[in-house]
Amino acid sequence: MPLTDYVALVSLTSDVPTRSLLQVAAALQKQVTRDFGPIWGLPATVDAFEDLSSVPSDYYPIVVFGDGDELKQRLAFDIGEQPAIQLIDQFEQGWVTGIHLNAFTRQPFALVAATDTWTVAASHELLEMLADTYGNRLIGAAHPTLPDVRVKYLLEVCDPCQSAWYPVNGVRVSDFYTPRYFDPVRVGASRYSFTGALEYPLHVLDGGYITWLDPDVSALYQWHGPGTEPVLLADFAALASTNVPLRTLVDSNPVSPRITETSLNPAPSVGAFDADTAVSDASRGTARRTAEAIVSLAATTW
């Protein structure tokens, strides 16, 4: 049985209050337990914490942040004013990427901007952190445009379908591909992503991408889907000059497509676009009935 990973969801911005953080953490936990874990065989827990100082040392943090000034204030509370100022300065100058791997502690972590798409981004980062904790796992398969050439793909379970979301507890979360995504042939009964948005091996949706290492020239390439040409991210010299994880190179490169509100769409299998409203209505109704039960039971003890 594989070891359980422990993930901490922390908000360092007032744009994501504790109430929202708790709701999203519950949705991400259900996604991991019900959807992702059984397919990939990777158990994990997801818990919300009020601040970084409350996170146990063996947890993988996913940190939601807002504007720079607010981030400095929140970090100053946790680590001190001067270290916080220095860290933000390094981050803004690109010296610290802060994506997937902490260069100082070697502890995996992720950063998520507090935008309208933050729940999908948090889900995306969570699942990729669990599937490839240290961001260097490679899988051999055919080249996306040259079937006779074999390359090694970086295991990024959400990137090809990052524009597709589905609801969990009414919260939008990211679609992800299955281990069958790298199969050499298409089989009708196979499932290539959880929602079915990916319909065949190496399928890439609009707004998604895949990244691979070409073993012939030792260079890192990316493909943004049908109608595009492969993009060189890092040549042999660039890869030889750094020891940061491949995923950090990908995520910090401006060429890599980002998740935006305009690029996101519900997966074709999603029936109700207003699932969040339905969930909220059901929760309020259940809360009323629970409150009535509590009052009724409490009355018998008075």
Grade residue 132 by pLDDT with cuts at 50, 70 and 90: very high
Span 43-63, average pLDDT: 93
* Residue percentage of the chain with pLDDT more than 90: 55
Neighbours of 61 (CB within 10 A): 18
Per-residue pLDDT, 177 = 98
Residue 75 forms part of a structural domain: yes
Distance CA 25, CA 6 (A): 12
- Quick check: is 125 in a domain? yes
Residue 172 CA to residue 174 CA, distance in Å, equals 7
Picking from 233, 227, 245, the residue whose alpha carbon sits closest to that of residue 136 is 245
Q: Is residue 273 part of a domain?
A: no
Q: What's the rounded mean pLDDT across residues 191-212?
A: 96
- Residue 275 resides in a domain: no
pLDDT of 232-243, one tens digit each? 999 999 999 988
pTM of the model: 0.85
Expressed in percent and rounded to 5, the helix, strand and coil fractions of the chain are 35, 20, 45
DSSP H stretches of helix in the chain = 18-30, 37-40, 68-79, 81-92, 118-131, 236-240, 246-251, 275-299
The residues with which 47 forms a beta bridge, in sequence order, are: 8
Mean pLDDT of 199-222: 95
Q: Confidence band (pLDDT; 50, 70, 90) for 73?
A: confident
Residues 6 or more apart whose Cβ sits within 8 Å of residue 163: 205, 206, 207, 208, 259, 263, 264, 265
**Per-residue pLDDT at 278 exceeds 60:** yes
283 domain residue, yes or no: no
Mean pLDDT (the chain) is 85
Q: Which candidate, 48, 12, 56, places its Cα nearest to that of 29?
A: 48
Decide if 6 contacts 56 (C-beta within 8 A).
yes
221 domain-assigned: yes
Task: Count how many Cα atoms sit within 13 Å of the Cα of residue 140 in the half-sphere of its side chain.
Answer: 4
Given a contact cutoff of 8 angstroms between Cβ atoms, the answer to whether 251 and 100 are in contact is yes
* Residue 289 domain-assigned (yes or no): no
Domain assignment present for residue 244? The answer is: yes
Host domain of residue 174: 5-266
Helix axes 68-79, 81-92, angle to 10 degrees: 140
Q: State the sign of the Cα–Cα–Cα–Cα dihedral 241, 134, 74, 64.
A: positive
Place of tokens 């599937």: 131
Answer whether 100's CB lies under 8 Å from 247's CB: yes
51-60 pLDDT per residue, tens? 888 999 899 9
Q: Which residue's entry shows tokens 């980062």?
A: 125
Please give the C-alpha separations between residue 39 and each of 121, 157, 277, in angstroms, as whole numbers. 20, 12, 29
What total of structural domains would you count in the chain?
1
| DSSP one-letter string for 131-158 | HSTTS--EEEEE-SS-TT-EEEEE--TT
With the CA atoms of 243, 247, 253 and 255 taken in that order, what torsion angle do they form, in degrees rounded to the nearest 10?
A: 140
